[in-house]
C-alpha cells in the first residue's frame, strides 16, 4: 500500500470513517478538542459516494483536521483511504459514534513500542436515554475488547496500529464489509506483531436502540463470516451459524447486569439467531444461483 509521502510529519493520525453520520462526527471532534496535540492530526473519511451532506461548520478539534473522500463501499476501504493520506507514525482508528474519554490519545501514544505493537483499548457500550429492550441487549452484549484481545483480535472502534505494521500487511481487506478488523489483527499476530490491551485508552459507544439496527448488524456480520476467508473457515462459520448461541447467552446470564436485563438479552439473542440463519440461507441460495449462471 502506498502511504502518504509526508510520513513522520505527525506522531499520530486519528482516522475516522464517516457514512452520513456527521452529527456524531461533530460530537466526536468536540471530545477530541480536550486531547489536542500539535503533533497529531485527525482524518475524517467521507464514505458517502454522493458527498452531498458534508457540513461546512464542523467543530475544530484543535488538531490538523482534513476530510478525505472514499467512494468505495465499506468502512475498511474508508480506513485504507484515510491511512493513505495520513502523515502520522501511528495510525489510531475509532468510529464516528464513539466518544474517546480523557487521556485516550495519550494512552495509545504512551504504549511501549520498542518493537511494533498494536494496542487496543476498552469499548464501553452505554444504553443511552432511550432504554428499550434493544438498547438493553446491546449493552449486555457489549464489545468485550479485553476478551477479543485474548483471542488475538480487536475492533477498530479503538485500535492503534504502527504505520510500519499497516504498510507491511497492506492495510485492511477492502472487500470486506464486516469483520475486517478481526481479520487484520489476526494477520498481524500471525506475522509476529503483538496485540496488547491498553486499559486506560477508553472510548464510549452508544447502544443500538432499534430492532432494525440490531438485525442489520447481525446480517452484515454473518455475511462477512460465511462469505470471506478460506473455504475451510467459511464452512466452520456456516456450521456455527446453525448452532444455538448457548455460550454467548451463558455469558449474559452470568454477567453482573440486573436479572431482567439478562433475560431480555437472551431473548433478543435468540431472535437474532433466526435472523442469522435466514441470512445464511439467503447467501447460500444466492451463491448457488450465481454458480448456475
Burial of 63 (0-12, 13-18, 19+ CB in 10 A): buried
Would you kindly state where each structural domain of the chain is located, as residue ranges?
10-206, 211-292
How does pLDDT run across 6-62, given as a tens digit for each residue? 777 899 999 999 999 999 999 999 999 999 999 999 999 999 988 767 888 899 999
pLDDT exceeds cutoff 80 at 168? yes
Question: What pLDDT, on a 0 to 100 scale, did the predictor assign at position 129?
Answer: 83
Phi and psi (nearest 5°) for 116?
A: -60, 120
In this prediction, residues 241-246 reach a mean pLDDT of: 91
Question: What pLDDT, on a 0 to 100 scale, did the predictor assign at position 56?
Answer: 84
Q: For the chain, where are the alpha helices, taking DSSP H only?
A: 22-33, 75-85, 104-109, 133-141, 145-150, 163-168, 180-190, 211-227, 231-241, 246-253, 259-292
- Percentage of the residues of the chain whose pLDDT score is greater than 70: 95
What CA–CA distance (Å, rounded) separates 63 from 39?
Answer: 8
Q: What residues contact residue 293 under an 8 Å CB cut-off, 6+ apart? A: none
DSSP bridge pairs for 60: none
**Do 197 and 149 contact (CB within 8 A), yes or no?**
yes
What CA–CA distance (Å, rounded) separates 178 from 222?
Answer: 8
How far is CA 259 from its chain centroid? 29
**Do 183 and 169 contact (CB within 8 A), yes or no?**
no
What CA–CA distance (Å, rounded) separates 54 from 63?
Answer: 19
Query: Among 3.40.630.10, 2.30.42.10, 3.90.550.10, 3.60.20.40, what is the CATH number of 10-206?
Result: 3.90.550.10
Question: What pLDDT, on a 0 to 100 scale, did the predictor assign at position 293?
Answer: 30
What pTM was estimated for this model as a whole?
A: 0.89
**Do 100 and 198 contact (CB within 8 A), yes or no?**
no
User: What's the chain's average pLDDT?
Assistant: 91
How does pLDDT run across 69-94, given as a tens digit for each residue? 999 999 999 999 999 999 999 999 99
Question: What pLDDT, on a 0 to 100 scale, did the predictor assign at position 36?
Answer: 93
| Per-position b or e across 95-117, b if 16+ CB within 10 A of its CB | bbbbbbbeebbebbbebebeebb
How does pLDDT run across 187-198, given as a tens digit for each residue? 999 999 999 999
| Residue 172: closest CA among 102, 107, 91 | 91
Burial of 128 (0-12, 13-18, 19+ CB in 10 A): middle
Amino acid at each position: 500500500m502506498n502511504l502518504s509521502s509526508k510520513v513522520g510529519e505527525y506522531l499520530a493520525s486519528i482516522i475516522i470513517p464517516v457514512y452520513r453520520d456527521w452529527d456524531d462526527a461533530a460530537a466526536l471532534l468536540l471530545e477530541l478538542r480536550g486531547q489536542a496535540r500539535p503533533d497529531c492530526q485527525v482524518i475524517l473519511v467521507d464514505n458517502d459516494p454522493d458527498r452531498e451532506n458534508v457540513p461546512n461548520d464542523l467543530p475544530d478539534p484543535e488538531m490538523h483536521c482534513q476530510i478525505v473522500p472514499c467512494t468505495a463501499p465499506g468502512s475498511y476501504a474508508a480506513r485504507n483511504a484515510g491511512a493513505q493520506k495520513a502523515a502520522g507514525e501511528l495510525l489510531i482508528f475509532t468510529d464516528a459514534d464513539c466518544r474517546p474519554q480523557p487521556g485516550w490519545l495519550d494512552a495509545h501514544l504512551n504504549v511501549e513500542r520498542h518493537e511494533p505493537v498494536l494496542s487496543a483499548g476498552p469499548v464501553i457500550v452505554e444504553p443511552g436515554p432511550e432504554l428499550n429492550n434493544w438498547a438493553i441487549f446491546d449493552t449486555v452484549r457489549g464489545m468485550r475488547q479485553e476478551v477479543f484481545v485474548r483471542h488475538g483480535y480487536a475492533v477498530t472502534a479503538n485500535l492503534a496500529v504502527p504505520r510500519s505494521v499497516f504498510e507491511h500487511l497492506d492495510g485492511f481487506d477492502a472487500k470486506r464489509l464486516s469483520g475486517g478488523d478481526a481479520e487484520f489483527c489476526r494477520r498481524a499476530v500471525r506475522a509476529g506483531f503483538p496485540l496488547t490491551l491498553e486499559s486506560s485508552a477508553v472510548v464510549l459507544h452508544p447502544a443500538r436502540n432499534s430492532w432494525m439496527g440490531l438485525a442489520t448488524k447481525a446480517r452484515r456480520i454473518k455475511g462477512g463470516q460465511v462469505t470471506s476467508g478460506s473455504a475451510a473457515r467459511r464452512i466452520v462459520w456456516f456450521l456455527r451459524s446453525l448452532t444455538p448461541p448457548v455460550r454467548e447467552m451463558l455469558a449474559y446470564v452470568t454477567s453482573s447486569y440486573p436479572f431482567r436485563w439478562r433475560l431480555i438479552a437472551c431473548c433478543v439473542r435468540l431472535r437474532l439467531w433466526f435472523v442469522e440463519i435466514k441470512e445464511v440461507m439467503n447467501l447460500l441460495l444466492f451463491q448457488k444461483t450465481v454458480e448456475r449462471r
